[in-house]
Structure 1
Amino acid sequence: MADPRPAHGTVLLTEAEVAARVADLARRIAPRIDDDTVAAVLLTGGIWFAADLTRALAREGRTVRFDALWLSSYGDDKTSRGRIEVRAPFQREMRGRRVLILDDVFDTGLSLAEAARLAGEAGASEVLTCVFARKPWPEPRAIAPDFVGWEAPARYLVGYGLDSAGALRGLPDIRALD
């Protein structure tokens, strides 16, 4: 019997549903930030989400500053190694500014917590966090995101920045491989 799933998994969120969730996030975030806010994406998975969200924020009248922080806890593995490696730090001045940390998925919470800590140490006046997808986790996490676009199932997800050993990030929708 043939596998009923399309190539590269089962679509959980279509491209249009992803766009609607990003637009909703921008509407919720815009009143909490200003144009001096630094939107800092966690590399590399968050790039797709950050690009769409910063454009959606501009449509809501907010033109944020942009930065990136490259953290790694997974490598090409399917599970976190339990520690964070900083591969490239923030480049923009954070002192006295509100910082909005952007990431694709909230799984263990380690990357988001480390990014928030680093922004605070850099002198941010306030640190807000936003993730496109939040996966369930069996135990409490050290940090909870301020903004969440989608409550994701506990499945192996790809697309829209989410990857499988670096592959399938560019899919415009979100799919489950399991």
Structure 2
Amino acid sequence: MESNEIAGDLSKVLLTQQEIHDKIAELSRRIEADYEGENLLLVGVLKGAVMVMADLARELKLPLNMDWMAVSSYGSGTKSSGVVRILKDLDSDLTGRKVLIVEDIIDSGLTLSWLRANLESRGAASVEICALLRKPDAAKVEVDVRYVGFDIPNEFVVGYGLDYAEKYRNLRDVGVLAPHVYS
């Protein structure tokens, strides 16, 4: 889906498809340099990271495996409580593996902080994080993120895997959702 097809739902386009593509290529070159000669395991966090994971995996020129987790932090309304439930666990054994968690966006950092600790406790040799987007103003906990695509303002964004009510994930750009859509 193109931004112009839903222009009335967006207050602005924050990142274009080309800017995202260029950033994924840049992050991939850094990852390749850091993991040369390693058998890397990419762990995508469902559902939002699907687009990032697919494009990153296709761009990387090194051996890798892929696996998926679905986690939910629940609380009242739209706020993360930091209490995490695993909805879909990994199929892979992490013992001695180099793991790269692939995320679409980091908001509060609560869920991601929990996820990293959980994967480390499973015997991974290392657990690093790659996130396309990060909202520094929304952080509640400090999370060490090795690869960050873009720091963005604390606004409601959709597209490139990010949704509102399961819509807009297939938008090729990342846009700020207009308040009239969700209020």
TM-score (norm 1): 0.88
Correspondence for 1:146? 146
1:31 to 20, 30, 33: 33
Contact in 2 for aligned 1:49/1:161 (Cα 8 Å):
yes
Contact in 1 for aligned 2:109/2:139 (Cα 8 Å):
no
Correspondence for 1:113? 113
The aligned runs of 1:50-129 (5 Å cut-off) are 50-57=53-60, 61-73=61-73, 78-129=78-129
Which structure features the higher share of strand residues? 2
SS at match of 1:123: coil
Deviates more, 1:13-22 or 1:105-114: 105-114
2:50 equivalent to 1:47: yes
Deviates more, 1:133-142 or 1:14-23: 133-142
TM-score (norm 2): 0.86
Contact in 2 for aligned 1:54/1:63 (Cα 8 Å):
no
Given residue 26 of structure 2, which amino acid in structure 1 is its aligned partner?
D
* Overall identity of the aligned pairs, in %: 32
Deviates more, 1:138-147 or 1:43-52: 138-147
Inter-partner Cα distance in structure 1 for 2:79 and 2:49: 18
Contact in 1 for aligned 2:157/2:176 (Cα 8 Å):
yes
Structure 1 residues without counterparts, runs of 5 or longer: none
In structure 2, relative to structure 1, the CA distance for the partners of 1:80 and 1:144 (3 Å cut) is: same
| Shift in Å, 1:18 | 0.8
Correspondence for 2:9? 8
In structure 2, relative to structure 1, the CA distance for the partners of 1:81 and 1:160 (3 Å cut) is: same
| Shift in Å, 1:144 | 2.2
Contact in 2 for aligned 1:78/1:164 (Cα 8 Å):
no
| Shift in Å, 1:139 | 5.4
Inter-partner Cα distance in structure 2 for 1:138 and 1:80: 11
| Shift in Å, 1:6 | 1.7
Contact in 1 for aligned 2:43/2:99 (Cα 8 Å):
yes
Inter-partner Cα distance in structure 2 for 1:67 and 1:78: 27
Contact in 1 for aligned 2:108/2:138 (Cα 8 Å):
no
Structure 2 residues without counterparts, runs of 5 or longer: 1-5, 179-183
| Shift in Å, 1:72 | 1.4
Q: CA RMSD in A?
A: 1.9
Correspondence for 1:133? 133
Contact in 2 for aligned 1:107/1:135 (Cα 8 Å):
yes
Which structure features the higher share of helix residues? 2
In structure 2, relative to structure 1, the CA distance for the partners of 1:12 and 1:143 (3 Å cut) is: same
Correspondence for 1:164? 164
